[in-house]
Amino acid sequence: MSEELVGMLVATAGRMAEGGRNVPETKTALRDHGLSGGRGKVCLRWDWSARRWLAPTYGALSTHILKNESEREWLPAEACIESCCQRALATAGVEACWTRARLYHGIGTVVSRRSDRVDQGDGGEIFTIHQEEWSQAIGLYPEEKKVDDRPETEWPSLLRLLGRYGQDAEREQRKLCKAIAAVVLLGNGDTHRRNVGIRHVRGAEGRKVVLAPLYDCSSVEGVAWTNVKRMEIPVGGEVEFDNVKGEQWARLAHAGSVDTGLVLDSVREVAERLPDALREAAEEAKREDIVANPKARDRRMEEIGRYATERCARALTELGTRAQRRQAGRQRAPAPKRPPLPKRSQGWDIG
């Protein structure tokens, strides 16, 4: 496919998402490639040998999702911002989908590798992975992806699910805690139950699940709309980013039946690494991403960097760094010896 044709498909997907689903031309153009969602998306396959996009037909598998993020006044340079944020999260130790920003026929486009595919590249075979959105896994309808006050739709329920069915329960719960920390520290106001997924795997103990890489993660900094500057899913009962502190992380751990130390260590790790990761991602994006408005990208990334650096510093001050915790543990006075338990002959009632 030519870049012009790719751009036309992405533009058509955008019109479809904005209300053109009943227009015959949009149905025909996206019959084999369209995806649902608030922003128009198409699924294409990347040909590694020819270095071009292919339209998967007759049951062929796609490898990437291309999302329409054309320039909008209230959300400038969003394609590149999402690319930068996803890059930064991967560098900061959060599992995140490979994401880049491109410009096809003048349309700003977010290109993401599908996490439910195994692509061997260079003409090799492509395999599917059984993956569910979080909303699917708990039986919600697609329109119920946003804010919901039912306990089974909040983070603790997913922590418990991973604790019960995770291939390596503690590892998967730690991955989720890092993802939640990234949402809070980066200021991502659009992480909902369709952007979080679980993948089904088979192991020695039968069918298990692992957390899918984080997808569609951006930041509300530099956005004109103020009503998006809060989280879709509360953390410890809070939806305001600035109100998530040590108490809220402890509540999350308690409600999710997870050790508090695991949650706090996950938050600290992301907080220690995210500011530098954002700076690296911004520099990489300048070299690799293709955008229509580089000035808007640089301005927003500067704002996001300041915001995240401040939030991460505050989190580390509130929770203490891991090194400080280890030092405090070494300096802690030894616990007094407990008196021996009385023997039964001394009249200890064990019945």
Checking if the pLDDT of 97 tops 50, the result is yes
Over the stretch 266-324, which tens digit does the pLDDT of each residue have?
999 999 999 999 999 999 999 999 888 889 899 999 999 999 999 999 999 998 855 55
Structural domains present in the chain: 129-275+286-328 (1.10.1070)
> Mean pLDDT, to the nearest integer, of 177-191?
92
Checking if the pLDDT of 125 tops 90, the result is no
Q: In whole numbers, what is the pLDDT of the chain averaged over residues?
A: 82
State pTM to two decimals.
0.83
Most confident of 16-30, 187-201, 270-284: 270-284
Query: How far apart are alpha carbons 93 and 87 in whole angstroms?
Result: 10
Confidence of residue 346 (pLDDT cuts 50, 70, 90): very low
Q: Which two tokens stand for residue 308?
A: 């995240």
pLDDT for 211 equals 95
What share of the chain in percent tops pLDDT 70?
79
Backbone torsion region of residue 245, taken as left when φ is above 0, otherwise alpha when ψ lies between -120 and 50, otherwise beta: beta
* Three-state secondary-structure class, residue 34: strand
Query: How far apart are alpha carbons 185 and 194 in whole angstroms?
Result: 20
> Mean pLDDT, to the nearest integer, of 103-125?
85
Most confident of 121-125, 127-131, 260-264: 260-264
88: nearest Cα among 171, 107, 80, 116 = 80
Confidence of residue 327 (pLDDT cuts 50, 70, 90): low
pLDDT for 30 equals 52
Q: Is 216 exposed, middle or buried (0-12, 13-18, 19+ CB in 10 A)?
A: buried
Half-sphere exposure of 350 (CA within 13 A, CB side): 7
* Three-state secondary-structure class, residue 313: helix
Confidence of residue 191 (pLDDT cuts 50, 70, 90): confident
> Mean pLDDT, to the nearest integer, of 28-45?
66
Query: How far apart are alpha carbons 296 and 342 in whole angstroms?
Result: 74
Confidence of residue 123 (pLDDT cuts 50, 70, 90): low
Determine how many CB atoms are found less than 10 A away from the CB of residue 207: 11
> Mean pLDDT, to the nearest integer, of 148-159?
78
pLDDT for 328 equals 46
Checking if the pLDDT of 20 tops 70, the result is no
